[in-house]
Amino acid sequence: MKTTIDATPEVAQNAPVNPRRRVYRPNAKYIPILATLVLLLAMYVGGLANLAHFDDPRVVVNLFRDNAVLLVVAIGMTFVILTGGIDLSVGAVISLTTTLTATLLQGGWPPLLVLPLVLVLGALLGSGMGAVIQYFKVEPFIATLAGLFLARGLALYINQESIPIRDKLWVTLSDLRIPLFDGVKTTLIAVVALVVVLIAAAVLAWTRFGRNVYAIGGSADSALLMGLPVARTRVLVYTISGFCAALGGVLFTINSTSGHALQGAGTELDAIAACVIGGVLLTGGSGYVFGTLLGVMVFGLISTIINFQGDLNSAWTRIVVGILLFGFIVLQRLVTRRAR
Amino acid sequence: MTILKNRLFWPIAILVAMLIVNVFTSHQFLTIHDGHLFGTLIDILRGSAPLMLVALGMTLVISTGGIDLSVGSVMAISGAVACLLIKDLSDQNAIGAVLLIVAVAIGVSALLGLWNGTLVAVVGIQPIIATLILMVAGRGLAQLITDGQIINVQSNPYASIATGFFLTLPVAFLIAMAAVALTAVLTRRTALGLLLESVGGSPAASRLAGIRARRITMMVYVVSGAFAGLAGLIVSADIKSADSIHAGDLIELDAILAVVIGGTALIGGRFSIIGTVIGALLIQTLTVTVVGVGVPPKATLLFKAVIVVALCLSQSPVFREKVFGRFKSRPAVRAEVTA
């Protein structure tokens, strides 16, 4: 494929070669990701230069542990945004999953039954919203907003308090440490999140379903005319998002061995922001899972740096996150604009 | 049949149905008390004012194909600024000074809107992300202004913004109605509404047609900010204090919902102000009714979800066709076949 795209047009063979063409230019579709990557590295190097103990490899390893939930949710969101949709319900699905998991475990349900149950419930909620969006032509923003109210309402109805988890399996998984190198260890949830990233990237890059997702995001009408299974694919991306949100909720209960109905509030916007920072276009059809990964890392690195700084109260934390988000988005915007 | 096909038929029907429920469940639905109207209906009108103002600004933003997530934070900042300034007054009941402070708070909110508009129209950031920045940082700013405390004020003129009555109607509702009337006249009696819809339809095409698309886009965010600021003042005057954490929390979602219930498409290019007013009234009535009927507070959100789902489905033409289509006789189609 590459050779056909790079082949010089006939006119250019007779005309003198434009000297600007010799400059290396990355493929235009990779520029947003490269911009994010460069800015992320710049932030990390800035942290190395200015903060003590920032060079500890655990800083990077802990990024994955601390942002595992957001990462998994953002991956599901990537699928939805790639089709040109949006899923506002993920934060509420996290709430519902953590509350339900904790309540069922407290009630003495076998953990190996609870785990698949909540995951299937999340997937079902997602496919329900996807079906409403696909078959009744309700706008994704509204259908998933209704999903948000429904899931958060169910969570609050089940229990409004924080519920501790004493289940043996959950405690074991929570305490599990996986050695990496030089005595650096990480948690199970970080590994699970990374596995989800790899699976999602493979699905989008190499499967027929992945190509359908991009096709629908490019133009749903064209995809339909091409004979692609638009309905099935669209319902499936919301199912994936719901499943990922439920998995995020489970990871949260494993990490904190507790469940709370207000947990996960606002995660949907963090996930959307992470996707956008990573170069996934909200209009659909363009973006990569690794971009989302980088976006989540940016979010994580912002709060890590603020933690290292140490002397900021909660009000300032929000403001600094906002300022950094602003700087980041504007910089990325400038970089990508020049490239076009 | 034409009435049934109107997009606003079901929202209005549900609104009326809920009001009728309220007539039976509330102690006083509408009476005269202390020289002004009183009762559940008036509570609904008064309580709907902030949401109506926010949703009004949101309607204009959405008509240009944008969205404003920062309205809740702007409300918090506006209330914080006003309460901070009023607290420092030597006489908190001085009407002139309070009016000036109100103007300052609205001015600050409009500036925040200008910031959003600049990011969207000049820098070219997607609206949802551009306003997300202020949504995140704004609440921190509000906390900074109030120093993390809840600032209480003892100003009667300020409190009357929310709790006062004029011509037997709540002042808050009259403010919202004035804003609605002004917006309706400006957008429907001048070319402004047409320009908005044109920009929402296609910013590039309208720019080529000689419309200053960038200026219009910035303007709607300024208006949205100013209306959100006004809403923030009403909310804070109602409790006579500035609560930087809870003021306007999640109101952006309710406002977007009100706009959509009113028949404005989220993709832009078309808007209905009267629809938004009905949407906001519907949401407020729903909230009041749920409590009035005696649904336990923890099930409120669940109840709300069910209504929202029902309403959205009832507005979906495809859903109507699939579910109600088979019950209808179709003379038009038959005539075509026989002819």
Q: What is the pLDDT of residues A264-273, one digit of tens each?
A: 777 888 898 8
Supply the pLDDT for residue A251. 94
Supply the pLDDT for residue B170. 83
Q: Which residues of A touch B129 (CB under 8 A)?
A: 272-273, 276, 282, 329
A152 → closest Cβ in B133, B301, B312: B301
Mean pLDDT estimate for chain B: 82
Residue A77 tokens, joined: 């969101």
Cβ–Cβ below 8 Å for A150 and B316:
no
Task: Say if B299 is an interface residue toward chain A (CB within 8 Å).
Answer: yes
Supply the pLDDT for residue A284. 82
Supply the pLDDT for residue B219. 92
Least confident of A285-299, B55-69, B292-306: B292-306
Check if the beta carbon of residue B200 is closer than 8 Å to that of residue B44: no
Check if the beta carbon of residue B76 is closer than 8 Å to that of residue B232: yes
How far apart CA B156 and CA B160 sit, in angstroms, is: 6
Supply the pLDDT for residue B336. 43
* pLDDT tens-digit series, residues A306-328: 888 777 777 787 787 788 778 87
The answer to whether residue A97 scores a pLDDT higher than 60 is yes
User: Which residues on adjacent β-strands are paired with residue B169?
Assistant: B166
Cβ–Cβ below 8 Å for A145 and B253:
yes
Mean pLDDT estimate for chain A: 85
Residues 6+ apart with CB under 8 A from A328: A39, A277, A298
* pLDDT tens-digit series, residues B66-96: 889 899 999 999 999 999 888 888 777 778 8
The shortest C-alpha distance from A91 to chain B (Å) reads 13
The answer to whether residue B55 scores a pLDDT higher than 90 is yes
Kindly list the distances between the CA atom of residue B283 and the CA atoms of B92, B101, B260, B287, in Å, as whole numbers in the listed order: 34, 30, 12, 6
Q: What is the 3-state secondary structure (H, E, C) of A167-187?
A: CHHHHHHHHCEEEEECCEEEE
The answer to whether residue B6 scores a pLDDT higher than 80 is no
Which pTM value belongs to this model?
A: 0.82
Cβ–Cβ below 8 Å for B125 and A330:
yes
State phi, psi for A7 to the nearest 5 degrees.
-55, 135
Cβ–Cβ below 8 Å for A269 and B302:
no
Q: What is the mean pLDDT of residues B297-315?
A: 77
The domain segmentation of chain B, as residue ranges, is 48-317
Supply the pLDDT for residue A340. 45
The answer to whether residue B273 scores a pLDDT higher than 60 is yes
Q: What is the mean pLDDT of residues B299-319?
A: 77
Task: Say if B122 is an interface residue toward chain A (CB within 8 Å).
Answer: no
Supply the pLDDT for residue A201. 95
* pLDDT tens-digit series, residues A209-241: 999 999 999 888 899 898 899 999 999 999 999
Task: Say if A333 is an interface residue toward chain B (CB within 8 Å).
Answer: yes
Q: Which residues of A touch B119 (CB under 8 A)?
A: 326
How far apart CA A159 and CA A153 sit, in angstroms, is: 10
The answer to whether residue A124 scores a pLDDT higher than 60 is yes
Q: Which residues of A touch B306 (CB under 8 A)?
A: 150
Cβ–Cβ below 8 Å for B322 and A136:
yes
E-strand spans in B132-207? 151-152, 165-166, 169-170
State phi, psi for A325 to the nearest 5 degrees.
-60, -45
B309 → closest Cβ in A139, A146, A276: A146
Supply the pLDDT for residue A2. 42
Supply the pLDDT for residue B37. 67
User: Which residues on adjacent β-strands are paired with residue A178?
Assistant: A186
Supply the pLDDT for residue B114. 95
Task: Say if B209 is an interface residue toward chain A (CB within 8 Å).
Answer: no
User: Searching chain B, which residue's CA lies closest to the CA of residue A134?
Assistant: B318
Supply the pLDDT for residue A70. 94
* pLDDT tens-digit series, residues B125-184: 888 888 988 988 888 888 888 887 888 888 888 887 877 777 777 888 889 999 999 988
Task: Say if B137 is an interface residue toward chain A (CB within 8 Å).
Answer: yes
Band the pLDDT of B272: cuts 50, 70, 90.
Answer: confident
Supply the pLDDT for residue B334. 45
> Which of B312, B313, B318, B319 is best to mutate for the A interface (most A CBs within 10 A)?
B312
Element (H, E) at A209: helix A208-218
> Which of B10, B133, B261 is best to mutate for the A interface (most A CBs within 10 A)?
B133
* pLDDT tens-digit series, residues A271-281: 988 888 888 88
Check if the beta carbon of residue B214 is closer than 8 Å to that of residue B56: no
Cβ–Cβ below 8 Å for B123 and A315:
no
The shortest C-alpha distance from A287 to chain B (Å) reads 15
More confident residue, A26 or B8: B8
Band the pLDDT of B5: cuts 50, 70, 90.
Answer: low
Q: Which fold has domain B48-317?
A: ABC transporter involved in vitamin B12 uptake, BtuC (1.10.3470)
Task: Say if A220 is an interface residue toward chain B (CB within 8 Å).
Answer: no
* pLDDT tens-digit series, residues A179-212: 887 778 888 999 999 999 999 999 999 999 999 9
* pLDDT tens-digit series, residues A40-92: 898 889 888 888 888 888 888 888 989 999 999 999 999 999 999 999 999 99
The answer to whether residue B328 scores a pLDDT higher than 50 is yes
* pLDDT tens-digit series, residues B233-261: 999 988 888 887 788 778 888 898 888 88
| Residue (of A253, A241, A304, A306) closest to A74 by Cα position | A241
Q: What is the mean pLDDT of residues A107-116?
A: 90
